[in-house]
């Protein structure tokens, strides 16, 4: 026993055990790092992430689910849809796409300069004033194409988008030469004037083949009698400057997303001016995923739309980075003045949540997946609240699951028909 008033000496550490533990941690981290570089190995993370989602649903502990969003009955189909979302995310988020240390400094510097400029110009207080009204689109070039057994028209025109003077990232964005020519494909009926719907695709698509499927365009055209015009968003499809469609749009180059969303709004508004010149009997815009964000932006500027239909939308890109990025990327981004509020402030100018909708309340409609693991249910809910809780369909599926959801397509048909958009 130790003498009174004297502390017992601490036992000497077992240096052999400490060394062994450090060695095991090092081996684990090295194995984890190597596996992370293998896409098929990363797919294995989809299973535990899906299991965690199931647990949160069963216990009611999903912190990202707002209280006003209904809960769903877990089914094999829904779990399979969630697994698809998680698999897509596992493949997309790999170390080869992580920023390097020098990228943090450069991106943080661009965002800091952008925030100072935006604040000085008053664009943070009035985000809508950041955007310039585009000139009408007149006499686009027209060609014809063929996809999935049907003929379509193709429109081509110079985008003529020019960023505001001094906005960081301008030179990089304008260097994408293939992006300077805007494009849309069209399905229209001969003869009498009809309703038109302008479709806006999601991230990574933009090909006629994919977007004919994404919007059930044959059904809209053949069964509902609509004329359909589908935009190709900046750096997507025929406009992409690299192998992956949309790669330059959404990523760690956060000023790219500011330019991309701004140009998307510009290009869609020009296409709408051309559609109006065709004398539509009614006019709607229908966007999914990232196209849902662009649709919501359009709805803040175009007051004469009969329908602004937003599906599985993302509306807050910095928040999506925070939600999906590994912890170390989040911490470094905060350390380099990126996700510390700087990116959030800068993206106010391209956020529909920072702008009042111009379209009337009865023209607004939203559908969203209760198991959406990509754009997340929470983002759709934020838009729904900002839009004063318009007509909404919460379907039991995931982000990609809307393609097969009968509930979604009944809602789409009903939204179009009730606004006079079924010919």
The two tokens of residue 183 are 């494009």
pLDDT confidence tier of residue 272, bands split at 50, 70 and 90: very high
Residues 212, 170 contacting (CB under 8 angstroms) = no
In this predicted structure, the answer to whether residue 16 has a pLDDT above a threshold of 80 is: no
| pLDDT for position 28 | 37
Q: Which candidate, 299, 292, 314, places its Cα nearest to that of 361?
A: 299
CB 212 within 8 A of CB 220: no
Distance CA 213, CA 205 (A): 11
Say what the pLDDT of residue 332 is.
Answer: 87
Q: Label each residue of 378-422 as H, E or C.
A: HHHHHHHHHCCCCEEEEECCCCHHHHHCHHHHHHHHHHHHHCCCC
Give 374's DSSP letter: T
pLDDT band for position 43 (cuts 50, 70, 90)? low
What is residue 102's predicted lDDT score, i.e. its pLDDT?
85
Task: Judge whether residue 22 has pLDDT over 60.
Answer: no
Q: Are 122 and 348 in contact (CB under 8 A)?
A: no
**What is the distance, to the nearest Å, from the Cα of residue 60 to the centroid of all Cα atoms in its chain?**
26
Closest alpha carbon to 371 in 103, 71, 137 = 71
In the predicted structure, residue 12 carries a pLDDT above the cut 70: no
Q: How far apart are CA 313 and CA 413, in angstroms?
A: 18
Report percent pLDDT > 70 for the chain: 85
pLDDT in the model for residue 93: 59
pLDDT of 59 higher than 60? yes
CB of 117 closer than 8 Å to CB of 230: no
Helices and strands (DSSP H and E) totals, the chain: 15, 9
Q: What is the pLDDT of residues 87-114, one digit of tens each?
A: 766 666 555 567 787 889 999 999 999 9
Q: What is the pLDDT of residue 58?
A: 72
- Check pLDDT > 90 for residue 9: no
Q: Is the pLDDT of residue 7 over 80?
A: no
pLDDT at residue number 97: 62
| Per-residue confidence (pLDDT) for residue 77, from 0 to 100 | 76
Give, in order, the Cα–Cα distances in Å from 303 to each of 104, 120, 271, 300, 362: 40, 29, 15, 7, 12
Among 408, 134, 129, smallest CA distance to 273 is for: 134
Domain ranges of the chain: 37-97, 101-418
Q: Distance between CA atoms of 77 and 74, rounded to whole angstroms?
A: 8
Nearest in space to 90 (alpha carbons), one of 43, 138, 123, 38: 43
Q: Is the pLDDT of residue 324 over 90?
A: no
Return the closest-CA partner of residue 68 out of 378, 410, 386. Answer: 378
pLDDT digit string, tens, across residues 347-399: 999 999 999 999 999 999 999 999 888 899 999 999 999 999 999 999 999 99
Q: How confident is the model at residue 330 (pLDDT cuts 50, 70, 90)?
A: confident
**Average pLDDT for 60-85:** 73
Q: Interhelix angle for 327-335 vs 101-121, to 10°? A: 50
pLDDT over 90 at 139, yes or no? yes
Would you state the pLDDT for residue 91? Answer: 66
Is domain 101-418 classified as CATH 3.40.50.720? no
Q: Which residues contact 12 (CB under 8 A, 6 or more apart)?
A: none
The rounded Cα 4 to chain-centroid distance in angstroms is 68
Summarised one tens digit per residue, pLDDT across range 308-319 is 999 999 999 899
- CA–CA distance from 165 to each of 260, 301, 302 (Å)? 16, 22, 25
Residue 4: is its pLDDT beyond 60?
no
DSSP category for residue 314:
-
Torsion angles phi and psi, residue 156, rounded to 5: -135, 135
Q: Residue 409 has what pLDDT? A: 97
Condensed to tens digits (0 to 9), the pLDDT of residues 189-235 reads 999 999 999 999 999 899 999 999 999 999 999 999 999 999 999 99
45-73 average pLDDT score? 72
More confident residue, 204 or 268: 268
* Rounded distance between C-alpha atoms, residue 191 and residue 359, angstroms: 29
What span, in angstroms and rounded, lies between the C-alpha atoms of 321 and 347? Answer: 13
Q: What is the predicted pLDDT for the residue at 157?
A: 98
Instruction: Supply the pLDDT for residue 40.
Output: 46
Q: What is the DSSP letter of 131?
A: S
Rounded mean pLDDT, 144-169: 96
- The chain-wide mean pLDDT, for the chain, equals 86
pLDDT at residue 306 tops 60? yes
Q: In the predicted model, is pLDDT for residue 131 greater than 90?
A: yes
Are residues 227 and 187 in contact, defined by beta-carbon separation less than 8 angstroms? Answer: yes
Looking only at the bridges linking them, the beta strands covering 364-369 and 391-395 are parallel
Q: What's the mean pLDDT in 78-95?
A: 69
b/e per residue 276-302 (b: at least 16 CB within 10 A)? eeeebebbbbbbbbbbbbbbbbbbbbb
What is the rounded distance in angstroms from the CA atom of residue 34 to the CA atom of residue 302? 50
């Amino acid at each position: 026993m130790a003498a009174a008033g004297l502390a017992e000496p601490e036992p000497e550490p077992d240096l052999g055990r400490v060394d062994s533990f450090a060695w095991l941690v090092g081996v684990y981290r090295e194995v984890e790092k190597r596996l992370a570089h293998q896409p098929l190995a990363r797919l294995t993370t989809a299973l535990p992430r899906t299991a965690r989602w199931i647990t949160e649903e069963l216990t009611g502990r999903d912190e990202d689910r707002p209280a006003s969003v209904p809960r769903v009955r877990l089914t094999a189909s829904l779990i399979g849809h969630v697994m698809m979302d998680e698999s897509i995310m596992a493949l997309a988020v790999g170390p080869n796409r992580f920023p390097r240390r020098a990228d943090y400094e450069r991106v943080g510097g661009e965002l800091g300069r952008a925030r100072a400029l935006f604040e000085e110009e008053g664009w943070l207080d009035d985000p809508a004033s950041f955007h310039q009204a585009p000139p009408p689109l007149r006499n686009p070039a027209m060609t014809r194409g063929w996809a999935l057994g049907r003929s379509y028209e193709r429109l081509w025109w110079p985008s003529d988008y020019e960023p505001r003077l001094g906005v960081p990232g301008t030179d990089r964005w304008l260097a994408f030469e293939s992006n300077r020519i805007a494009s849309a494909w069209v399905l229209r009926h001969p003869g009498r004037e009809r309703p038109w719907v302008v479709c806006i695709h999601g991230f990574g698509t933009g090909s006629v083949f994919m977007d004919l499927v994404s919007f059930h365009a044959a059904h809209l055209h053949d069964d509902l009698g609509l004329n359909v015009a589908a935009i190709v968003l900046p750096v997507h499809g025929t406009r992409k400057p690299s192998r992956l469609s949309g790669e330059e749009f959404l990523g760690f180059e956060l000023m790219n997303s500011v330019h991309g969303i701004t140009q998307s709004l510009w290009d869609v508004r020009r296409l709408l001016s051309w559609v109006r010149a065709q004398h539509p009997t009614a006019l709607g815009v229908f966007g999914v995923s990232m196209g849902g964000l662009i649709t919501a932006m359009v709805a803040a500027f175009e007051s004469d739309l009969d329908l602004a239909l937003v599906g599985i939308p993302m509306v807050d890109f910095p928040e999506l980075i925070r939600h999906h990025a590994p912890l170390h990327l989040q911490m470094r981004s905060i350390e380099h003045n990126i996700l510390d509020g700087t990116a959030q402030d800068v993206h106010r100018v391209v956020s529909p949540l920072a702008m009042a909708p111009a379209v009337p309340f009865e023209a607004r409609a939203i559908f969203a997946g209760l198991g959406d693991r990509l754009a997340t249910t929470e983002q759709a809910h934020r838009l729904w609240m900002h839009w004063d809780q318009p007509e909404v369909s919460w379907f039991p599926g995931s982000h990609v699951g809307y393609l097969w959801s009968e509930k979604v397509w009944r809602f789409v048909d009903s939204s179009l028909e009730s606004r006079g958009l079924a010919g």
